[in-house]
Chains A and B, each alone.
Chain A
Amino acid sequence: MSTDTLNSRGISTLKAESTGAALTPRQLIWRRFRKHKMALAGGIGIALLLLFIIVGSIFIPLEKANYVDLKAHLAPPSAEHWLGTDSTGRDSFSRVVYGGQISLIVGILAVVIEICVGTLIGGVAAYYGGWVDALLMRFTEAMLSIPSLFLLIVLGKFLGRDVQTIEIFGLSFSGSVGIVILVIGLTSWMYLARIVRANVLSLKEMDYISAARSLGASNSRIFFSHLVPNTLGIIIVSATLGLAGAILMEAYVSFLGLGVQPPTASWGNMLTSAQSFIQRGAWWMWVFPSMFIIVTILSINLMGDGMRDAFDPHSSRHM
């Protein structure tokens, strides 16, 4: 049974390579990605979510998402409030739209930080080796040995202590969103750093690197124009899967009340209040934000898995 799949896999890659006489690596990657039905489904899921958030925020003003209407508090879904209201009568549908905006922005920016820190630390450690490598890798290991949510809370508390003062001047939400981005980005780069390090370690023994060096290229030139581009595939895949992790982390931190502060909505902090009111049967406060989180994470994970298979011709398509 499994030998069959092995064979068919071998044949299908052969076909892909033989039909187009000269396919570029990029075309090959796209070909493999397109064949991955689950990944395509994930891509469509993400496209629909983006469409929902963009169209939603065009038609619904931000004021509506933060409008407190105590008369309508804890209202179940109705024609007026499609997804019901929360404990202060704010419309859940509008909050899901704006919360989605915040969650995606936090996720994307956190991943940008993750990539920068991870690539730099992993790359520098591998390229320079010696005590630089030892020190950076021990630091990476130290960060990995602290359970991620614990680290997130400790760092969040540490960075969040200055935000209080900004809050007085009415800049409260921008402050908390910035902190959340920073905290998630700074606590998630470790796996990427290890992957990049391993990859650069094998790359730096390649002939073209010695060629570049013998031509007199500087360290930073070799690093940024030879090593980083050749690690890009791995980085892109990690970034995609990291985005799912970052959005999930935002939900966790905001759920615990450390993240994005109300009135600014995020999918995570919508669920914080759901925790207190679920005992009174307010199921809509729980189910709708959760559904958006799950669909988003699921779509991104599916796409990320597809991309990993597409970038790596050797990887199996079992998952």
Chain B
Amino acid sequence: MWSYLARRLVQALFTLLIITILCFILTRLSADPLAQYATNPNMSAEDRAALRERLGLNRPLPVQYLRWLGLAVQGELGNSFFSKQPVSTMIAQRLPMTIVLMVTAEIITLAIALTLGIISAVKQYSFLDNLITTFSFIGYSMPIFFIALGLILIFAVKFKQMGWPYMPTGADIWSPKDMGQLVRHMVLPVLALVIITTANYSRFIRSSILEVLGMDYVRTARAKGLTERAVLYKHALRNAALPFVTIVGLDIPYLLGGALVTESVFAWPGMGRLFWEYAQRGDFPVVLGVLLIVSTAVVLFTIITDMVYTLVDPRIRLG
């Protein structure tokens, strides 16, 4: 167990190293971070060259990478070229907003998806099952911006036209201190996220319950004369939950990255939108910072999920 964990951690460090090299090359070379000054009349070409020198942008790429990595390991992610703020401060401002949005969406999704998945599996091939399966298939095939724009059209535009109470579509006019406003602004993005993720999860829950229901021990449980309820909740569901827990566990770190498209459409000030806005400006310290945090979380959670899985399922032995 411990040697396995140690090996996994070493592998993870190696993976993270590759991630940082890959991301550094891609983001550093994708645009000139000083491009915004090129059109600035108050700045001469010499000034720009001096700034480039001072920021170390004209050194060889491996040197720049090692310098960035050295500081990043100490938690120093540098300053944004555009806003001049430290990247860590900017992320610290956005992260809570993303967590509020994503965790709310995830909890609601889990509740709905579990209910739908269980109904679907227990009443297999019934009208209700066919309805749920059809909807989850369609939901699975949808880009999230389709839902997002549709929700805006219905709940913001049409409701407003009808004179009904309508939902705000975004714009950072609210302050997070005002809870009522925060909730009002969250309704539409959460709804969009819930619809898409529910489709995905309920499909998965249905098939894993159905697989378990076909097992011998379920037949044994039925043969013992247990009620269908006991068979389902005491035997089937617990075992069907195992793969599902893995899926959710592996999804959790990605929540930190926020929902780039949803946050952009609804102007939600989260990590995804931070990334997207600064990627467009070629502001590589910000982009790299977000990538580093999210992918480190992903790598760590993969290990944690695997470890938890072996604790929960005694059939798995680590080699």
- Please count the residue pairs between chain A and chain B whose beta carbons lie under 8 angstroms apart in the complex: 155
* B152 and A279 within 8 A (CB): yes
* A146 and B291 within 8 A (CB): yes
Residues 267-308 (chain B) with a chain A CB within 8 angstroms: 275-276, 279, 282, 287, 290-291, 294-295, 298-299, 302
A141: which B residues are within 8 A, CB to CB?
11, 15, 299
* A319 and B140 within 8 A (CB): no
A294 to B14, CA, bound (A): 39
Stretch at the interface among A91-99, A208-216, A296-304: A296-304
Residues 1-22 (chain B) with a chain A CB within 8 angstroms: 11, 14-16, 18-19, 22
A145: which B residues are within 8 A, CB to CB?
15, 19, 295, 298-299, 302
Q: Is the interface of B mostly helix, strand, loop or mixed?
A: helix
Verify if B149 is at the interface (C-beta below 8 Å from A): yes
* A256 and B261 within 8 A (CB): yes
* B264 and A256 within 8 A (CB): yes
B29: which A residues are within 8 A, CB to CB?
158, 161
A280 to B156, CA, bound (A): 11
In the assembled complex, how far is the CB of residue A312 from the closest CB belonging to chain B, in whole angstroms? 14
Contact of B149 among A248, A274, A280 (CB under 8 A): A274
A160: which B residues are within 8 A, CB to CB?
30
* B260 and A150 within 8 A (CB): yes
Q: A146-B294, A294-B138 are known contacts. Are A248 and B143 too (CB-CB below 8 A)?
A: yes
Closest chain A residue to B20, Cβ basis: A142
Closest chain A residue to B302, Cβ basis: A145
Stretch at the interface among B70-78, B108-116, B183-191, B205-213: B205-213
* B287 and A154 within 8 A (CB): yes
B26: which A residues are within 8 A, CB to CB?
154-155, 157-158
Stretch at the interface among A1-9, A21-29, A115-123, A225-233: A1-9
Interface centre among A6, A143, A154, A268 (most CB of B within 10 A): A154
Verify if A172 is at the interface (C-beta below 8 Å from B): no
A298: which B residues are within 8 A, CB to CB?
137-138, 141
Interface centre among A150, A157, A252, A268 (most CB of B within 10 A): A150
Residues 153-210 (chain B) with a chain A CB within 8 angstroms: 153, 156-158, 161, 169, 203, 206-207, 210
A83 to B158, CA, bound (A): 20
* B31 and A142 within 8 A (CB): no
In the assembled complex, how far is the CB of residue A48 from the closest CB belonging to chain B, in whole angstroms? 16
Q: 1/0 per residue A118-145: CB within 8 Å of B?
A: 0000000000000000000011011101
Verify if A290 is at the interface (C-beta below 8 Å from B): yes
Verify if A191 is at the interface (C-beta below 8 Å from B): no
A301: which B residues are within 8 A, CB to CB?
137, 140-141
Q: 1/0 per residue A250-269: CB within 8 Å of B?
A: 01100110000000000010
A279: which B residues are within 8 A, CB to CB?
152, 156-157, 169
Verify if A223 is at the interface (C-beta below 8 Å from B): no
Verify if B142 is at the interface (C-beta below 8 Å from A): yes
16 extra interface residue pairs, beta carbon distance < 8 Å, beyond A145-B298, A157-B27? A146-B19, A147-B295, A150-B257, A150-B290, A158-B26, A158-B27, A256-B260, A268-B143, A271-B146, A275-B265, A286-B149, A286-B150, A290-B143, A293-B146, A294-B142, A316-B207
11 contacts between A and B (CB under 8 A): A2-B124, A138-B11, A142-B22, A146-B298, A147-B260, A154-B291, A157-B26, A256-B260, A271-B149, A294-B141, A298-B138
Q: Which A residues fall within an 8 A CB radius of B?
A: 1-3, 5-6, 138-139, 141-143, 145-147, 149-150, 153-155, 157-158, 160-161, 244, 248, 251-252, 255-256, 268, 271, 274-275, 278-281, 283, 286, 290, 293-294, 297-298, 301-302, 316, 318-319
Closest 7 CB pairs of A and B: A297-B141, A157-B30, A142-B18, A298-B141, A2-B213, A290-B146, A158-B30
